A = this chain, B = another copy of it.
Amino acid sequence: MNVSRTARERVRAELIREITDIARRHLATEGASGLSLRAVARDMGMVSSAIYRYFPSRDDLLTALIIDGYNALGEAVEDADAACPREDVTGRWLAVCRAVREWALAHPHEYALLYGSPVPGYRAPLDTVAPAIRDTAVYGRIVADAHREGRLSPPAFCPPPPAVLAGDAEVVRTLMPDVPDDVVTRAIAAWTCLFGMVSFELFGQFENTITHRAELFDHNMTCMAALLGLPV
């Protein structure tokens, strides 16, 4: 009965994969709010109600796409990091930045789903948090490596972080062990600046202003590396 059950399960898993694939294609062309179960069903030659056998609601389909998106971005970031020599911490940081930007440019609607305005009424389930920090985990490893190997010399012009942030820094340190508080806050600043740049570019804030976006991005991320204390 195990084999027969897996027979049914297999076709079911196959259909789920096909639904998410088509949904991702729709997402790429129409955006999150244009994702319609009926359209997906139409593309599959199914009747719309049949989709509900596999995804109980539109939000559940969205959750699947969000998890896939986080994993895709996380994998891109992991690959970019792995392609660098481990001791070249600045190169790894820049590679991660570029990987985020390039993945976002290649999948704008998926990026918007992950880092743009939250979908109203949608509450991200807990299954999303693990994939959501794959990229951040890579980043934390880079900072931790740089710190452990003594390659981190943060410039002294920043005031020390207030003591009240120590608790939050403790939480962040689970991703970048042993890193001191002031480096933690700068790491957050650099990370938010990275996503701020990508979001500005993708969401149209650079329209009619910035034309050489890759160059500006690289330069600003290099400045952020310097702010972090990485050798530039």
With both beta carbons as reference points, the residue of chain B lying nearest to A193 in the complex is identified as B193
The count of chain A contact residues (Cβ–Cβ below 8 Å) is: 59
How many copies make up the complex? 2
Asked if A168 contacts B212 (CB within 8 A), the reply is yes
With both beta carbons as reference points, the residue of chain B lying nearest to A221 in the complex is identified as B189
| Chain B residues closer than 8 Å to A34, beta-carbon distance | 120-121
Asked if B185 contacts A192 (CB within 8 A), the reply is no
A197 to B224, CA, bound (A): 14
Q: Is the interface of A mostly helix, strand, loop or mixed?
A: helix
Q: Which A residues, 165 to 210, have Cβ-Cβ distances below 8 Å to chain B? A: 165, 167-168, 171-172, 185-186, 188-189, 192-197, 199-200, 203-205, 208-210
Chain A to chain B contacts (Cβ below 8 Å), 16 pairs: A31-B121, A32-B120, A113-B117, A118-B204, A157-B226, A159-B222, A162-B219, A168-B211, A185-B219, A189-B193, A189-B197, A189-B223, A192-B193, A192-B196, A199-B199, A227-B227
Q: Which residues of A contact B (CB under 8 A)?
A: 30-34, 109, 112-113, 115-121, 124, 129, 155, 157-159, 161-162, 164-165, 167-168, 171-172, 185-186, 188-189, 192-197, 199-200, 203-205, 208-212, 215-216, 219-220, 222-224, 226-227, 232
